[in-house]
Structure 1
Amino acid sequence: MQIDLNADLGEGFGVWRLGDDEALLDVVTSANVACGFHAGDPLTMRRVCAAAAERGVAVGAQVGYRDLAGFGRRRIDIAPDELAAEVVYQLGALEACARAAGTAVRYVKPHGALYNTAAEDPGQAEAVATAVAAVDRSLPLLGLPESALAGAAHAAGLPFVPEAFADRAYLPDGRLVPRSEPGAVIEDPYEVVARAAAFALHHRVTAIDGSVITVGARSLCVHGDTTGAVYLATEIRRTLIDAGATLAPFAR
């Protein structure tokens, strides 16, 4: 069994730092690097890409809404052509940083509100997929299984990789519980690790109403800004390897 472990990285800005990028890069197999719109700046992007290249970690472009103040977690009503242009812009910026660091962007993952909106809104999903396809049709899109983004990726001729979140609560229909609702983020580290194992080994998770749902995922995400993210990622990695799983990037 092979599974990818990804985390959101490079989410500082200027003198502000969020999360421990270096420590997480020693644990994960794929890095979702902020591209400057919801977080990140050119120096941070280049540093994270260089550190990822040194460790053989796959670099992914984490594209988001232009929303530094809201950390990209506020939905923005944006025209599809404008959204597509902004995704192309972010992808191009990170690709240049990755190339300068001796690596390349291997996949694309929307961030925050754009991730959730593209999972449900066919228009925004199509804008994201169209933008990625215009740059490189070989780049996989990473997102929720059976989502609008998955459909848009297939329509645009892009590979799609389904992922699961070890530290987020799920609704019975397979969507994530909105962060504005209680219990949206799982804070108990033992529960996070147990949920990661359930995703990887059995492709299922217990939803917020107690029902058990199937989530077929090839990649597991741990948010870099979650309290104790390095410890959680380390314990998830250890648990999965002990269970016989091989951890490796889905994109090379």
Structure 2
Amino acid sequence: MGKLIFQDLQAKMDHLIRLLSTTSGADKSFMLLQYSAIILRHLASRSKNPTSNKSLVLRLAALSKLLSDARTTYRLWDLISIIQWLRSLNALPPSGSNTVQIERLQVISMLIYYPLEHLYFLASKGVLPLSSRLINKAALYSCRAWAAYTLLHFFHLWEELKLLEPERRRLQALQAGTDFDTPRKPNPAIATSLQEMEGRRAAIINGLVVNLAYTPLTLHWSLPKGLYGSELITGICGFVAAIAQLRAGWNASAVTP
């Protein structure tokens, strides 16, 4: 019994290492810590005796800022993956697919987002000689491009679901034998395909959760005066987005038996 528990723990540890060894897994783990620190900072500052928590509030603020800077530094190379994404779309044969057209628009939004983010981040650190006004404008318009991507992603998820659902329902009907006069024995091949379809559907729903969490953040940072006044909203939305993306990464890094 103890040996089985140890093996299970070892397997989970190996799985966690695989997840955190990826760029996305490391980023989302930092993101989880970053937004957790924001939530804790807000709660500490709103306690009955905020003066005694002042040191804790400052340390949590420093931690969230450090993690934010680390994540932004990691993203300095992300523009390369966007260019690769554009090349892969351009390599596709001409198509009227809504999904492909939406992805093209998403690529355009990211080609605006990343250079502006790199510009304002490097300038804010004194690497590039830009005025505060230009730094703020670059930050604002980069977030607006991100907001456009987030809006487009709702349509992308909807198109994915539209393509998936008819085939999933057809396989469900075949597996249940409802397309025949008499019940049939379950088909292992159909069961495997249906399981794959269910996994893809779950991934789409998880993607919707991520997008819903990102929407208030992107809108808030896209407006000169913001969308809301409480940093707790920022913390909760970022926390939810991080958890959902870590869940997706965990599933993606699982070893197939």
Give the shorter-chain TM-score range.
under 0.3
Which has the larger share of strand?
A: 1
Q: Who wins on radius of gyration, i.e. which is larger?
A: 2
Q: Identify, as 1 or 2, the structure richer in helix.
A: 2
Question: Whose relative contact order is higher, 1 or 2, with alpha carbons under 8 Å and at least 6 apart?
Answer: 2
The TM-score, its normalising length taken from structure 2, stands at 0.22
